[in-house]
Amino acid sequence: MVNAALRTEGIASGSVRAFNINCGVLSGVNRQSLRFCMQLVCRRFHMDGVDVNIHKIPAELRCECGRSYGADSVFLECPACGGLQHRVVAGGDIYLESIEIDDD
């Protein structure tokens, strides 16, 4: 992910100051493990000292009855109808939000 993003955007690894990653609570990814892995990747690509900012994105589910509600699990029943037929509309994914670079 890091290498592809840098190549796609034409960013030299030496100019990177921070990676900002959005991590949904339903993504199944442990944020501490992700931070640890990103720090290893940064070292691998000679970006020691680069900040890895991982933002927790809350989950939102939308029930088939039309009600949207926050949840920390996909097994949470709809507060309006008690149903479990819903789809995840937020918080189910993980993505690189932005890369901060030096202007020099």
Residues that bind Zn ion (CB under 5 A): 63, 65, 67, 78, 80-81, 83
Cβ closest to Zn ion, residue 8 vs residue 85: 85
In angstroms, rounded to a whole number, what is the distance separating the alpha carbons of residues 43 and 84? 43
Instruction: Give Cα separations from 90 to 5, 15, 51, 86 (angstroms).
Output: 23, 32, 25, 12
CB of 87 to Zn ion, least distance (A): 12
User: Token pair 């100051």 is at which residue?
Assistant: 17
Cβ closest to Zn ion, residue 31 vs residue 67: 67
Cβ closest to Zn ion, residue 63 vs residue 94: 63
